[in-house]
């Protein structure tokens, strides 16, 4: 077995079969939900299961449930575990994608230096990759989804928090340790709302995450309203919800225009729970980018995620295939 950076082999387990024709088990660790699915090289998701994260129980308990969910996903896929070539894990950072360690993700309080790749390799006896979930989702949309065939693409996930990833000149951008593309912490108002994710002020995440939408709705008097409630009420013309929603759209349009000016992407893909509101969000944000971005960058297409709820597991699997092609994960010969 060749063991290279970012990949840990299960002791006595099977190596990665030659080529990248095998299915992969994708695992996604979110702040509210964990998910697992078996994904093949064409991007077909053969099974998908999810459960609450209950991250406050600590890494050992949550990871045990995640791995059980993974076994359930394999069983429901109808594919034998022996045919699965590797496990891809996606999780919010900061993390060390090279060593496969979660450093201290803000959405998983109390999780410090958790060696996720090693633990997953022991559980499944397979090679494992760990990647930032936003980066993984970008890889998923680029390989299997809305971004197929594009050279320069930005992915932005808007859910409990805000994350993202970039494909530049046809290659996934990672940063030095796998934490590049944290678009949620692009500043839209440097004296603005406190950002819980990073402690600075006025980050995009502090205005457009599902958490922030609910929080701002609460401050405006819509007690207990979720982001989904706010979207629905705004669509129905309720004035307070409309104001909260318009502020959300404005902040997202502002932050995304800066991102588009930085990268001049052909395509921007918006995913995550908040984007279930569809054109109610994507439409005005697209208009803002087209009106505000500089020169040819303003012609970037802005679309909703193609992979939807499967983007986490499909993205985690896409990372495995990407790393094989880069020679980072080696085929077992
Ligand atoms: Zn921030």
pLDDT(248) > 50: yes
Q: How far is residue 22's CA from residue 40's CA, in Å, rounded to a whole number? A: 7
Which residues does 48 contact at the CB level (< 8 Å), separation at least 6? 35, 36, 37, 73, 309, 310, 313
C-alpha of residue 196 to centroid of ligand 1, in Å: 7
Q: How far is residue 325's CA from residue 241's CA, in Å, rounded to a whole number? A: 47
Ion ligand 1 residues within 5 Å by Cβ: 185, 195, 197-198, 203
Listed residue (39, 73, 72, 34) closest to 53, CA to CA: 34
C-alpha of residue 182 to centroid of ligand 1, in Å: 9
Q: How far is residue 249's CA from residue 200's CA, in Å, rounded to a whole number? A: 21
Q: Give residue 215's pLDDT.
A: 97
Q: In Å, what is the CA distance from 164 to each residue of 135, 187, 214, 248?
A: 6, 14, 21, 17
pLDDT(126) > 70: yes
Share of the chain above pLDDT 70, in %: 92
User: For the residues 280-293, what does the mean pLDDT come to?
Assistant: 98
Q: Give residue 79's pLDDT.
A: 96
C-alpha of residue 74 to centroid of ligand 1, in Å: 36
Rg value, the chain, Cα: 19
Beta strands per DSSP E along 106-196? 128-132, 153-158, 162-168, 171-173
Alpha-helical segments (H) within the chain: 59-77, 116-124, 133-144, 205-208, 210-219, 227-235, 239-263, 279-292, 311-325
Q: Give residue 330's pLDDT.
A: 58
pLDDT(70) > 60: yes
User: For the residues 93-101, what does the mean pLDDT come to?
Assistant: 92
Please give the full DSSP string across 241-294, using - where no structure is assigned.
HHHHHHHHHHHHHHHHHHHHHHH--SEEEEESGGGGGTHHHHHHHHHHHHHHS-
Q: How far is residue 283's CA from residue 275's CA, in Å, rounded to a whole number? A: 11
**Which pair of structure tokens corresponds to residue 5?**
């950076």
**Which pair of structure tokens corresponds to residue 308?**
């939807």
pLDDT(332) > 50: no
Q: Give residue 130's pLDDT.
A: 96
**Which pair of structure tokens corresponds to residue 221?**
């008097």
Q: In Å, what is the CA distance from 4 to each residue of 84, 99, 141, 161, 328?
A: 19, 10, 26, 31, 6
pLDDT tens digits, one per residue of 6-61 = 444 333 334 455 456 899 999 999 888 999 999 999 999 999 999 999 999 999 99
C-alpha of residue 191 to centroid of ligand 1, in Å: 12
Q: Find out whether 147 and 156 touch, Cβ atoms under 8 Å.
A: no
Share of the chain above pLDDT 90, in %: 82
Confidence of residue 333 (pLDDT cuts 50, 70, 90): very low
User: For the residues 59-84, what does the mean pLDDT come to?
Assistant: 97
User: For the residues 102-106, what does the mean pLDDT come to?
Assistant: 89
Q: Give residue 247's pLDDT.
A: 97
C-alpha of residue 148 to centroid of ligand 1, in Å: 30
pLDDT(313) > 90: yes
C-alpha of residue 221 to centroid of ligand 1, in Å: 25
CA dihedral (95, 97, 98, 103) in degrees, to 10, reads 10
pLDDT(3) > 60: no
C-alpha of residue 218 to centroid of ligand 1, in Å: 21
Q: Find out whether 244 and 228 touch, Cβ atoms under 8 Å.
A: no
pLDDT(125) > 70: yes
C-alpha of residue 141 to centroid of ligand 1, in Å: 24
Q: At what angle do helices 311-325 and 133-144 cross, to 10 degrees?
A: 80
C-alpha of residue 144 to centroid of ligand 1, in Å: 29
Q: Find out whether 105 and 92 touch, Cβ atoms under 8 Å.
A: yes
pLDDT tens digits, one per residue of 199-230 = 999 999 999 999 999 999 999 999 999 999 99
Q: How far is residue 330's CA from residue 333's CA, in Å, rounded to a whole number? A: 9
Question: Which phi and psi angles does 256 have, rounded to 5°?
Answer: -70, -35
C-alpha of residue 161 to centroid of ligand 1, in Å: 10
User: For the residues 179-193, what does the mean pLDDT come to?
Assistant: 95
Q: How far is residue 327's CA from residue 16's CA, in Å, rounded to a whole number? A: 12
Confidence of residue 4 (pLDDT cuts 50, 70, 90): very low
pLDDT(164) > 70: yes
């Amino acid at each position: 077995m060749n063991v290279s950076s970012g990949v840990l082999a299960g002791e006595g387990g099977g190596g990665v079969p030659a080529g990248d024709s095998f299915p992969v088990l994708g695992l996604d660790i979110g702040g509210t939900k964990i998910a697992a699915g078996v994904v093949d090289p064409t991007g077909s998701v053969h099974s998908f299961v999810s459960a609450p994260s209950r991250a406050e129980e600590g890494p050992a308990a949550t990871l045990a449930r995640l791995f059980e969910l993974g076994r359930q996903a394999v069983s429901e896929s109808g594919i034998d575990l022996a045919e699965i070539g590797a496990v891809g894990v996606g999780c919010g950072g900061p993390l060390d994608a090279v060593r496969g360690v979660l450093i201290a993700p803000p959405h998983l309080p109390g999780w410090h230096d958790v060696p996720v790749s090693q633990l997953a390799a022991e559980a499944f006896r397979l090679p494992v990759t760990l990647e930032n979930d936003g980066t993984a989702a970008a890889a998923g949309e680029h390989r299997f989804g809305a971004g197929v065939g594009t050279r320069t693409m930005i992915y932005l996930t808007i859910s409990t928090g805000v994350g993202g990833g970039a494909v530049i000149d046809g290659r996934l951008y990672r940063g030095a340790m796998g934490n590049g593309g944290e678009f949620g912490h692009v500043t839209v108002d440097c004296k603005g709302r406190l950002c819980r994710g990073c402690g600075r002020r006025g980050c995009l995440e502090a205005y457009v995450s599902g958490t922030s939408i609910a929080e701002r709705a609460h401050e405006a008097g819509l007690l207990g309203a979720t982001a989904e409630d706010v979207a629905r009420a705004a669509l129905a013309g309720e004035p307070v919800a409309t104001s909260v929603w318009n502020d959300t759209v404005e902040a997202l349009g502002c932050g995304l225009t800066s991102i588009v000016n930085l990268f001049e992407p052909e395509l921007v893909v918006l995913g995550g729970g908040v984007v279930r509101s569809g054109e109610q969000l994507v439409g005005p944000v697209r208009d803002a980018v087209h009106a505000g971005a500089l020169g040819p960058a303003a012609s970037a297409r802005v679309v909703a995620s193609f992979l939807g709820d499967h983007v986490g597991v499909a993205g985690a699997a896409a990372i495995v295939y990407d790393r094989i092609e880069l020679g980072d994960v080696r085929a077992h010969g």
